[in-house]
Amino acid sequence: MKLLMILGACIGFGIGVLFSWASESGWPSVLWRATATAYCAGLLMRWWGRMWIKCLREVLVERRLASIKAEEQQLATNSN
């Protein structure tokens, strides 16, 4: 999770710098905007990472339940 947050912050900082340079801002403004963008992007990546892991866990549980159900059906047809 920390890796995703750091990755998001680095990407956000780069985007903030590039857009500030594109608007021909001064260095203090470039640094301020890049820092704010890094913070927001880091939070966004942390949220997205948590949602991604939650969905992956749900899929794993569903697959396990489906395999258990398939085994039960297989045993039921074999016992008849």
Q: Give mean pLDDT, residues 24-51.
A: 94
Q: Give mean pLDDT, residues 21-45.
A: 93
Average pLDDT over all residues of the chain: 92
- Dihedral (CA of 20, 26, 29, 34) sign: positive
Between 48 and 2, the more confident residue is 48
Q: Please tell me the pTM assigned to this model.
A: 0.73
Residue 80 pLDDT greater than 70, yes or no? no
As a whole number of angstroms, the distance between CA 16 and CA 30 comes to 7
Identity at 52, one-letter amino acid code: W
Q: How many CB atoms lie within 10 A of CB 24?
A: 8
Q: By percentage, how much of the chain surpasses pLDDT 90?
A: 79
Q: Which residues contact 48 (CB under 8 A, 6 or more apart)?
A: 4
- Dihedral (CA of 27, 28, 32, 38) sign: positive
